Structure formats: structure tokens, C-alpha cells
Amino acid sequence: MQLRSPLLYLLLCLVLAGLIHIVAVLALPGLAPKNAWARLVPLGPANTMIQIPPLGPGNEVMPMMAPDVRYAFCRFDLAQGPVRLKGAVPNDLWMIAFYTPEGENFYTVPGADIRSAQLDLVIATGEQTVAEAGVDAPEGADELFVIKSPVREGVAIVRAPLAGPSRAARAEDALKATICSPLKS
């Protein structure tokens, strides 16, 4: 019986250490002082498209951003109604991804899925309908994408990968022309 006690204590210590590890790993994202949302909020107001300057050593807005990609984002707030995101999508490599403030991706639109060179999205909550807002697809547009957001606040990030260094100016101009604004009926 004496041999059994040390093994039991060792097993209990291992189980306790495993539980502490799991709790620490799950709690860490919530305790991080500089998550993506906290880094993007000071860069500009909600419902406005903000272009992130080209990346270089020491001036990354968020870690792990690719230097051969140009970025723009819209921190949307749906409290006053739906928000419209419009712009040009020069090639199939572009991507628009939608995130909650906690960093959960709830929708992604790859450039290859957009049938025309013009992007027209409406972001709305489940309670807000596009018909109530009086939105019609613009003339000449194949379709209007309606993104149902599970949260009232979030961020839409537009990624424009460069097909080569000479295409940086074209991508930056397309990002500057992208608009994020409250939907007007």
C-alpha cells in the first residue's frame, strides 16, 4: 500500500498540471493586451476604409503580415444600420475577410468568387434586412453580396497580394478607392 500512494500523488499532479495548462492556454487570448482589435481601433473611426501603409521592419500593425501584400480594413459598427463596402477587385488573388472583435473569422470572400471587377457588399446583422434598408443592386452589377454578421462590431480586412513589385501602385490605388460607409437608403 505504501507504493501506491506515491503513484497516486504523481498521477494527481499530472492531471492537475494538465488542467492548469489547458486553462492557461484558453485564457491567454482574452488577457493579451494588444490583440488585433486593440491595434486597429486607434488607426481610425468606424465605418471608414483605412489603408495600412506598406510593411517594413518595425512598422507592422499586426504580427505575421506578409510584406508582398497590401492591406486595408474597415472597422464596422452596425448599431445605426447596415454598412456598405464597395470597391474594385483587380484580380482573383484578392480576399475580403470578416472578423469579430475577438478575432473569429465569420465570412470570407475570395476574389475568385466575385464575378465582376466591382465589389459591392452589405454587412448587416441578422435582425437587419437589406429590403428594410432599401438597397438595390447597382446597375451593371451581377449581384450584391449580403454578409450577415453575428456581431454589431467587427472588422473587414481586404488583402491585395502583389503579383510582382511593379503592381504595388495599382493595388494601392484600388485599395484607396475602396469605400466603407453606412448604408444610405
What is the 3 state secondary structure string of the chain? CCCHHHHHHHHHHHHHHHHHHHHHHHHHHHHCCCCHHHHHHHHCCCCCEEEECCCCCCCCCCCCCCCCEEEEEEEEECCCCCEEEEEECCCCCCEEEEECCCCCEEEEEEHHHCCCCEEEEEEEECCCCHHHHCCCCCCCCCCCEEEEECCCEEEEEEEEECCCHHHHHHHHHHHHCCEEEECCC
More confident call, 157 vs 66: 157
Average pLDDT, whole number, for the chain? 82
**Residue 82 pLDDT > 80, yes or no?**
yes
Please compute the mean of the pLDDT values over residues 60-66 and round it to a whole number: 81
**Residue 89 pLDDT > 80, yes or no?**
no
- pLDDT number for residue 2: 54
Would you place residue 141 in the very low, low, confident or very high pLDDT band (cuts 50, 70, 90)? very low
- pLDDT number for residue 138: 45
